Homo-oligomer: A and B are copies of this chain.
Amino acid sequence: MERILRINMTDRTATFEPVPDRYAHRAGRWLTSSIVHDEVPPTSHPLSPDNVVVFSPGVVTGTAAPTSSRISVGAKSPLTGTIKEANAGTGWGGRLARLGIRAIVVEGMASGDDWWLVKVSQDEGRFEPADEWSGIKLSEAYASIYERYGGVEAIDVCAIGVAGEQRMAAAGVCFSDREGRASRYAGRGGIGAVLGSKRLKAIIVDDSGAEGVSIADQALFDEGRKKVADALMSHDITKPKGALNTYGTAVLVNIINEAGALPTRNFREGRFDGAEKIAGEAIFDGNKERTGSELYNHPCSPGCIIACSNVWHREDGSEHTSCIEYESDWALGANCGIDDLDAIAEMNQLCNEYGLDTIEMGGTIAVAMEGGVAAFGDAQRAIELLHEVGEATPRGRILGNGAVVTGRAYGVERVPHVKGQNMPAYEPRAIKGIGMTYATTPMGADHTAGYTIAPEILGVSEKLDPLDPDKASVAKGFQEATAFIDSTGHCLFIAFAILDIESGFEGMIDECNGVLGTNWDADDVTRIGGEILALERAFNRKAGFTNVHDRLPAFMESEPLPPHDAVWDISDAELDKVSE
């Protein structure tokens, strides 16, 4: 039987309850956004007991469907004040799904100064003291938790770092990767701070005795997963030793730089002179030089074909950090004017250790640099600033609360954000469609909410001119499809393959129908995606957001971006088409 585990921090109870009929077929983002929409008063303070944190594995998470180990995390965001969904690839969600747990809802707030860990297993959610893991690096906390609870075979771990403990709005939610690293993040929107406000340090899942995900039509499901697997195995971006497996997501550095859309030095330029030094190719070559091997990437979670997760090694060949994603590489590198991979790796690892969203932190350091706190390119100072966040010094508290608060503290006008969330690694002035996604997604500036980079830059599904402003329908379509994919439990990266290979797209739907016993078709993908967006937008409206917030910062309308000298020139009416 499918069930919801309700963890009440106020009275420290964990109770299984049946999934209400109204949530039938809902999983992943569809379910996390539904529960946040239904249970959180939209005008409540994100750090109040009225907020909840919802975890939900996707429809096919925990099955043999390839690349489907995403866990969706939802809450009202302390960074944006909007509804927020962030997701991560980890074995944690699959264990939950196999236990028949459709969602965990964390509600209320523990009194006192103690930290808590909840161990979820077949029969219970058990509260255990967690003070020993607070205030330390997440790699140490994870190692200790694994030692206590049986190792990487027995459990997966979700935890917050010191940033979350300190209720900082750039705090992400950290999940274990396949090797037990504290490295996979539902990073954006500060949901780590919400867990911190509730004094929940960690949730571990032990799926021993689990019955597994029940599948309504095994044959259909198997047919579907084979179609998806075939698509992933054959597409140049997703196949073994393909672009992502070889160079990781940082393969985009050179591509986006070439397009003049790599935001550099706090979005002052679209090309970074140090791009080649931090590109995915440089990571591959550097690792080869330092380890003596051509290292292909590994999967972040069980069952992934793409396997895009890299490790960066120190000069002595030891592991420095995992994973340097494109967006982290850019945020902590180009956007801060830093072209030293070892420095970027150290910053990346500090974000992992302190429990911080790399995108928000890179953007924040860039804003601080703009405000005179450090010079662009000063990697040593940037590393020190991240340590200040981990130590929660006053300056660290400014930075740990993100780019907008940092802009406030230092009187900086040029804060590239939407709805309080710093923009990610694609310049909207040079790639109009992604800018329309930033502006209109209910999530605040978020590339994963509608990744129009696929057609605009990579030529996936079709090749569009990035500077063409006529992208409302593209941005809308991608947001709808994404909301659906985020509900299946698949990694968004399957989109590269299934948008180009029609049978892959069919396979994804077959998988869902196989698990759920539904009869969804391609129209349902759009319909369901639209429904998810509609309820997210409904929450935001009740929280005080209007179309006026579906805009990019004014400075982008007047400041031309080299090398194209493009400005942001999408009209309000055009933007409003995306969300209507």
Contact = CB atoms under 8 A, between A and B. Distances in A.
A554 B44 contact: yes
A411 B167 contact: yes
A141 interface: no
Contacts of A549: 544
A197 B411 contact: yes
A553 B47 CA distance: 13
A408 B78 CA distance: 8
A169 interface: yes
Contact of A166 (B197, B411, B413): B411
Among A45, A411, A542, A545: residue with most chain B CB under 10 A: A411
Contacts of A471: none
Interface stretch (A125-133, A397-405, A449-457, A507-515): A397-405
B394 A553 contact: no
A23 interface: no
A416 B199 CA distance: 23
Interface in A131-187: 166-169
Contacts of A263: none
A393 B395 CA distance: 8
Interface in A380-431: 393-395, 397-398, 401, 405, 408-413
A551 interface: yes
Nearest to A109: B413
A409 B413 contact: no
Nearest to A552: B43
B551 A43 contact: yes
Among A394, A398, A408: residue with most chain B CB under 10 A: A408
A544 to B, nearest CB: 4
A409 B409 CA distance: 10
A282 to B, nearest CB: 34
A442 interface: no
A543 B545 CA distance: 11
Nearest to A549: B544
Contact of A41 (B193, B405, B554): B554
Nearest to A404: B408
A168 B193 CA distance: 26
A553 B50 CA distance: 13
Contacts of A409: 394, 397-398, 401, 405
Contacts of A293: none
Q: At the interface, is chain A mostly helix, strand, loop or mixed? A: loop
Contacts of A546: 544, 546
Nearest to A550: B544
Contacts of A397: 394, 398, 409-410
B543 A548 contact: yes
A285 B197 CA distance: 47
Given A544-B548, A546-B546, A554-B44, A169 B408 contact: yes
B411 A45 contact: no
A91 interface: no
Contacts of A167: 410-411
A518 interface: no
A48 interface: yes
Contacts of A548: 42-43, 542-544
Contact of A394 (B41, B193, B398, B545): B398
Nearest to A393: B394
B50 A554 contact: yes
A417 B551 CA distance: 25
A309 B542 CA distance: 44
A302 interface: no
A42 B554 CA distance: 10
B394 A401 contact: no
A168 B411 contact: yes
A409 B546 CA distance: 26
A553 to B, nearest CB: 7
B47 A554 contact: no
A531 to B, nearest CB: 23
A572 to B, nearest CB: 10
Among A41, A409, A543, A544: residue with most chain B CB under 10 A: A409
Given A166-B411, A546-B544, A553 B398 contact: no
Contacts of A554: 41, 43-45, 48, 50
A385 to B, nearest CB: 11
Given A196-B411, A394-B394, A397-B409, 15 more contacts: A43-B554, A47-B413, A50-B554, A167-B410, A169-B408, A193-B411, A197-B411, A197-B413, A393-B394, A394-B397, A397-B398, A398-B398, A398-B409, A405-B408, A542-B548
27 contacts: A42-B548, A43-B548, A43-B551, A44-B554, A45-B553, A45-B554, A47-B411, A47-B412, A47-B413, A48-B413, A48-B554, A78-B408, A166-B411, A167-B411, A169-B408, A196-B411, A393-B394, A394-B395, A397-B410, A398-B398, A401-B408, A405-B409, A542-B548, A543-B548, A544-B545, A544-B548, A544-B549
